[in-house]
Amino acid sequence: MRTYLNQKDEEVHLPDEVAELTREHASEVADAGELLTLASALALCPATAGTIVVEIGTYRGGTACFIGRTLRVLGRPLPVLSIDAFDLLSVEANNVQGDYAEYHNNVRKYGLEGQCMVLTGLSHSTVDLVPDRIGVLVVDGSHSYETVRGDIHDYAPKVVPGGVVFLDDYSPTFPGVVRAVDEFFGDSDEFEILHKTRNVLARRVG
């Protein structure tokens, strides 16, 4: 199967099993189309020694499990590190609260204990614990401008050359996400936009 990156007129070829995984893991927080775009990022990222995938905002671990399973199908079982505050924060408007127990239940369900791991805390407080070896960075935590801007500024510099940033909820419903993404990537010499719909893919080139 193929996916199309609309900003670079580029196609990404994916195994047919990935389409099955997108349907299996589609949910109210990530539909099959979004997961297919994420799978493209996983297929494009460098898979050299020490490279990891970092997910900011994991909710119940569904997307983390999709990432882990997709990486295995792609023959590149990179470690997946999820960062979430879980119940350390109160529920915000238009932002779901994660469930620590459900995250671990899902990871166990798919036998991903050796690949998927979680850091509990606010993303700005865990940045020093994350190595500068990110192959794919998923930014999908709090949707306020300040938090998204902080997540991009803190973690994007940790993305390796050729690595990809996946940003969710780029839409008028979340103006803070749109503003933060446009400000950081609009004039960037280090990242090129590969795809822009409700999701944005940006690849590090420098």
- Total number of domains constituting the chain: 1
Angle 73-75-77 from CA coordinates, rounded to 5°: 90
Give the pLDDT confidence score for residue 94 in this predicted structure.
58
Q: Which residue has the tokens 């306020």?
A: 144
The model's pTM: 0.94
Domain ranges, residue 125: 2-204
Run means of pLDDT, 10 residues per run, the chain, 206 residues? 83 94 92 95 92 95 97 96 82 67 96 96 95 97 93 97 96 95 93 96 92
Which CATH number does the domain housing residue 90 bear? Answer: 3.40.50.150
To the nearest 10°, report the CA torsion of 103, 109, 111, 116: -10
Q: Which segments of the chain does DSSP mark as H helices, in order?
A: 16-25, 32-44, 62-73, 100-109, 123-126, 145-155, 175-186
Give the pLDDT confidence score for residue 3 in this predicted structure.
85
Give 176's Cβ-side CA count (13 Å radius).
17
Say how far apart CA 172 and CA 164 lie, in whole Å.
23
